[in-house]
């Protein structure tokens, strides 16, 4: 008893000192994270030189009177908190960027035709938003408005995220047609009160600063203070009656639409990164969003970005459940390897004889264990599958496809969206263009569909708009956070996963326009006369030849009875010449070209890359909710191998099945270019056997991701057309009847 009292007295003596010490440490870190020595970055100078306008397609190559213009509708700068964090010196070191940097990069480095700014709305303080508007005004002021070298659009990202798949809407870019300060919203509209970055305590940022004398850490902390100090607007007040100094929040797409309507600006909303598991929870399903889908606003879908492709609907099941409730491990396919199978492979490798009953039992137990973890909704880590190094993951849990999004969410893919049949909803606006000339409301009983046009963009967080023109400079042009070895434990937690190997250079949106100006580009975006590329400036045409309205381009909707006939043509991108054109050096100077462009600009030669194959995908939207989605997607439905001696590639085809089936259908085209080196072109870094099987993986993470390492692998760059949507004429007659009834 006496000994216990003595121990209690010792603890009582030490405890106040310990508490005081912890308080002092907390105060120290809190003060260190205050950002008092930091500087908030204003917009940087924008040179007044325009860029020469050059056409990428000659009159003899073009099969349409329209021009093809290339752009990037998804660009972040250091005004986004995640961009500011992940570009600190210990990571990429490309921080401190502003929208002016993005403007200069788009004009002189990537030489694209249009772009938009899309920093996260929850991170845009009034100061940052005003700077953004001023930068876009200044960027547009340089050029000739009637035929500009570069069209800059104002916008932001509505970055919603929920751990509950039923209330998850994902990330959407809002693009405004107008851009001048007196014509646009006073503030952007966020999806959350704060971002995950600004949600950390100030003391955490103090810990990040500790021991770092680089000014960038003070500047980062100053930005966190600027963002965090912005109060939330009253959600029940009309947007035009709110003060200029608050942050506007809309928690759902419907509320976002309501606020945008109060502002009254023409806008397009573009969902993106939908299949990217980093920001979309397990179980996320686009079916849950159909009730809040507005086809008049959500005209486009970003199918590819620097975060990978979200195109294909592939079975990515990690467990199976029998009718009796028994959990088992799915088989491996050419497209996907469940991690329960990899767990079995790791056990098998330790057996002296894999064919013994003992070894087979151990393999089965390992498979059931991992499948069970997935069935319980738990996160499976490396130790759970019996692994010790990243290579032990093999290819498991990731899509084995062209530059896939990490932790792929198949029910968030473009193909899945197209095949869905939504609940009947008379409140969804819009009809097929063939009958919707007078009606503003959708007739009761008409099914709700996703009819997105497809685009690519970069989702770059370093102000590098249109960054996919040359493959290299991995740290500068991709969103990778891994530079080999990161010392800070907090930062290391963001860089140690396989995710680092699934960052790519960005994609592009290509617009078929009837002119080279803001209105022409906007009309093409709104009409879905666009396509996406994985970064190369591939030229693509896709037309329906025999509609009642004559020839219709990609993105069109129509009603038909006869078998539809199509024509597709593609030309490869120009091979690039090293270095930068003189206009870039004249505007930015040699040092500016090196710092902003990495010494390399879009600099086309005269030779085009080869298009090797054209593929047609045919998708039938569900006629009832119990139809299997996978059975409705034919990928590819048709494939055409291009002649080796031809610079371009074209072919015509017909769907003779349609005339008899008379079922709603859509078609889109992929143009596949000859393989070339690309950053993380193979995210697994596979060493393959003579049969092409991946026998060893080398993820571009940790020691494999040194600053000088670009992780280049062969990849077949590609373009995706927007679909052409066709319905039987009988539906048009019924729809017109419904319109007549609803207007009586």
pLDDT in tens, 592-636: 999 999 999 999 999 999 999 999 999 999 998 889 999 999 999
Within a domain: residue 609? Answer: no
Predicted structure pTM score: 0.91
Tokens, residue 279: 């920001």
Same domain as 290, residue 166: yes
Same domain as 134, residue 238: yes
Same domain as 494, residue 366: no
Within a domain: residue 698? Answer: no
DSSP string across 134-151? HHHHHHHHTS-TTS-S-E
pLDDT at 41: 86
Q: What average pLDDT does the structure give for the chain?
A: 89
Within a domain: residue 598? Answer: no
Q: Does residue 432 surpass a pLDDT of 50? A: no
Same domain as 305, residue 377: no
Same domain as 389, residue 411: no
Same domain as 279, residue 183: yes
pLDDT at 13: 66
Please answer whether residues 470 and 576 qualify as being in contact, where contact means their C-beta atoms are separated by less than 8 angstroms: yes
pLDDT at 10: 63
Q: Domain limits at 374?
A: 327-393
Q: With 0-12 CB in 10 A as exposed, 13-18 as middle and 19+ as buried, what is 136?
A: buried
Same domain as 525, residue 378: no
Same domain as 466, residue 526: yes
The mean pLDDT value for 173-189 works out to 98
pLDDT at 645: 83
Within a domain: residue 652? Answer: no
> What distance in Å separates the CA atoms of residue 732 and residue 726, rounded to the nearest whole number?
11
Tokens, residue 168: 């998850």
pLDDT at 435: 33
Last residue of a domain, one of 490, 515, 538: 538
User: For residues 486 and 134, which has the higher predicted lDDT (pLDDT)?
Assistant: 134
Q: Does residue 509 surpass a pLDDT of 50? A: yes
Within a domain: residue 738? Answer: no
Number of structural domains the chain divides into: 2
Within a domain: residue 716? Answer: no
Q: How long is the chain?
A: 744
pLDDT at 12: 66
Within a domain: residue 436? Answer: yes
Residues 86-117: pLDDT tens digits? Answer: 898 888 888 899 999 999 999 999 999 999 99
pLDDT at 46: 95
Instruction: List the CATH number of the domain containing 463.
Output: 3.20.20.140
DSSP 8-state symbol, 580: -
Tokens, residue 346: 């790791």
pLDDT at 483: 74
pLDDT at 292: 92
DSSP string across 239-258? GGGS-TTSBEE-SSHHHHHH
Last residue of a domain, one of 538, 570, 604: 538
**pLDDT cut 90: percent of the chain above it:** 74
pLDDT at 624: 87
Same domain as 359, residue 225: no
pLDDT at 198: 74
Give ∠ CA 155-157-158 in degrees, rounded to 5: 125
**HSE of 521 in the Cβ direction (CA atoms, 13 Å)?**
30
pLDDT at 56: 73
Which residue from 69, 210, 79 is spatially nearest to 132, judged by alpha carbons?
79
Please count the other Cβ atoms lying within 10 Å of the Cβ belonging to residue 76.
Answer: 27
- Beta-bridge partners for 582: none
Within a domain: residue 33? Answer: no
Please answer whether residues 94 and 453 qualify as being in contact, where contact means their C-beta atoms are separated by less than 8 angstroms: no
> What distance in Å separates the CA atoms of residue 485 and residue 98, rounded to the nearest whole number?
28
């Amino acid at each position: 008893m006496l000994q216990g009292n003595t121990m209690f007295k010792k603890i009582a003596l030490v405890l106040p000192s310990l508490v005081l010490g912890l308080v002092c440490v907390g105060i120290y870190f809190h003060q260190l994270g205050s950002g008092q020595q930091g500087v908030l970055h204003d917009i940087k100078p924008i040179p007044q030189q325009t860029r020469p306008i050059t056409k990428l397609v000659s009159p003899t190559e073009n099969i349409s009177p329209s021009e093809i213009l290339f752009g990037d509708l998804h660009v972040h700068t250091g005004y986004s908190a995640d961009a500011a964090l992940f570009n600190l010196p210990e990571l990429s070191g490309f921080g401190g960027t502003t929208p002016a940097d993005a403007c200069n990069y788009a004009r002189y480095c990537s030489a694209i035709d249009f772009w938009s700014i899309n920093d996260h709305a929850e991170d845009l303080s009034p100061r940052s938003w005003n700077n953004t508007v001023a930068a876009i005004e200044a960027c547009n002021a340089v050029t000739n408005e009637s035929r500009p070298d570069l069209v800059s659009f104002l916008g932001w990202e509505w970055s919603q995220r929920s751990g509950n798949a039923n209330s998850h809407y994902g990330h959407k870019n809002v693009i405004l047609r107008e851009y001048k300060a007196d014509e646009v919203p006073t503030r952007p509209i966020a999806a959350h009160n704060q971002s995950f970055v600004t949600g950390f305590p100030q003391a955490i940022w103090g810990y990040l600063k500790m021991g770092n004398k680089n000014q960038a850490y003070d500047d980062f902390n100053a930005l966190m203070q600027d963002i965090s100090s912005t109060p939330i607007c009253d959600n029940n007040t009309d947007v035009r009656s709110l003060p200029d100094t608050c942050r506007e929040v809309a928690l759902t797409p419907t509320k976002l639409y309501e606020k945008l309507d109060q502002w009254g600006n023409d806008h397009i909303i573009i969902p993106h990164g939908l299949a990217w598991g980093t920001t979309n929870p397990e179980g996320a399903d686009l079916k849950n969003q159909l009730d809040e889908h507005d086809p008049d606003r959500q005209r486009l879908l970003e199918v590819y970005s620097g975060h990978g492709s979200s195109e294909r609907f592939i079975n990515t099941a990690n467990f199976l459940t029998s009718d009796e409730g028994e959990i088992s491990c799915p088989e491996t396919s050419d497209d996907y390897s469940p991690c329960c199978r990899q767990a079995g492979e790791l056990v098998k490798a330790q057996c002296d004889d894999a064919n013994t009953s003992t070894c087979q039992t151990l393999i089965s137990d390992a498979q059931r264990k991992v499948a069970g973890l997935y069935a319980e909704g738990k996160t499976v880590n490396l130790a759970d599958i019996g692994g010790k190094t990243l290579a032990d993951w093999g290819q498991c849990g990731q899509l084995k496809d062209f530059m896939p999004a990490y932790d792929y969410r198949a029910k968030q893919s473009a193909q899945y969206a197209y095949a869905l049949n939504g609940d009947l909803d008379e409140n969804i606006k819009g009809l097929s263009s063939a009958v919707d000339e007078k009606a503003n409301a959708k007739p009761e009983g008409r099914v709700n569909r996703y009819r997105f046009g497809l685009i690519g963009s970069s989702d770059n967080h370093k102000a590098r708009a249109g960054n996919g023109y040359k493959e290299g400079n991995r740290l500068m042009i991709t969103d990778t956070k891994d530079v080999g070895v990161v010392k800070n434990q907090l930062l290391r937690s963001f860089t140690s996963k396989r995710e680092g190997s699934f960052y790519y250079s960005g994609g592009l949106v290509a617009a078929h326009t009837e002119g080279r100006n803001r209105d022409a580009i906007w009309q093409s975006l709104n009409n879905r006369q666009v396509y996406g590329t994985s970064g190369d400036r591939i030229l693509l045409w896709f037309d329906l030849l025999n509609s009642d309205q004559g020839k219709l381009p990609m993105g069109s909707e129509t009603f038909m009875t006869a078998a539809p006939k199509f024509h597709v043509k593609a030309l490869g991108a120009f091979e690039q010449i090293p270095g930068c054109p003189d206009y870039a050096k004249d505007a930015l100077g040699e040092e500016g070209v090196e710092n902003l462009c990495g010494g390399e600009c879009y600099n086309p030669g005269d030779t085009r890359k080869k298009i090797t194959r054209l593929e047609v995908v045919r998708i039938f939207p569900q006629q009832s909710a119990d139809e299997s989605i996978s059975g409705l997607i034919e990928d590819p439905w048709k494939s055409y191998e291009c002649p080796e001696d031809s610079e371009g590639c074209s072919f015509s085809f017909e769907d003779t099945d349609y005339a008899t089936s008379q079922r709603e259908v859509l078609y889109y085209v992929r143009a596949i270019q000859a393989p070339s080196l690309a950053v993380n072109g193979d995210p697994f870094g596979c060493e393959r056997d003579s049969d092409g099987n991946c026998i060893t993986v080398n993820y571009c993470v940790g020691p494999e991701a040194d600053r000088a390492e670009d992780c280049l692998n062969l990849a077949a760059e590609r373009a995706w057309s927007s679909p052409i949507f066709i319905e039987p004429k009988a539906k048009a007659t019924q729809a017109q009847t419904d319109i007549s009834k609803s207007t009586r």
